[in-house]
Amino acid sequence: MKVELIRDTPKESGALTSRVYVDGSFFGYGLENNFYKFPNGIYNLYGKYSPSFKKNKIYIDVPNRENIMFHGGNSIDDTKGCVIVASQQNGDNVSGDLSQKLYDVIDAAGRNGEAVGLIVRNDYKRLFLVLGALGIVGIYFLIKR
């Protein structure tokens, strides 16, 4: 099973929104604090009991970091390095905790013997649109000189 976290451009507030896909299908929205995010890359996922949440959560195996997981919340104040996963996004905030549903999906895959991995990357289409727009503006100013 493949879980993808496709990050948008960070906002000035420090909010880093994203979209979460499971096996290519849209699952929900992600929210991270950009100042505490972990690097883009490929990670193993595993289920484990969280003493702070008092329930099972999906943990992300980030090297040199501990207790990085998918959990619920509404704003970047609710996370320091973890990913909030939710059903709705409104600007810099999210709502509708999907962490239990994600746990159930990944746990079922694991019980069926499937390996589960996370791919974290930037939304390159949006990045190219922004860079393209900046390039057009730059060319305009060069021509105007």
Calpha distance 86→95 (Å, rounded): 5
> What pLDDT does 23 receive?
95
> What pLDDT does 123 receive?
87
Beta bridge partners of 22: 3, 25
> What pLDDT does 144 receive?
42
Which parts of the chain register pLDDT below 70?
Answer: 124-145
Q: Which amino acid is at 83?
A: V
Q: What is the pTM of this model?
A: 0.83
Give the CATH class of 2-144.
mainly beta
> What pLDDT does 140 receive?
42
Calpha distance 8→134 (Å, rounded): 17
> What pLDDT does 126 receive?
53
Q: Where are the domains of the chain?
A: 2-144
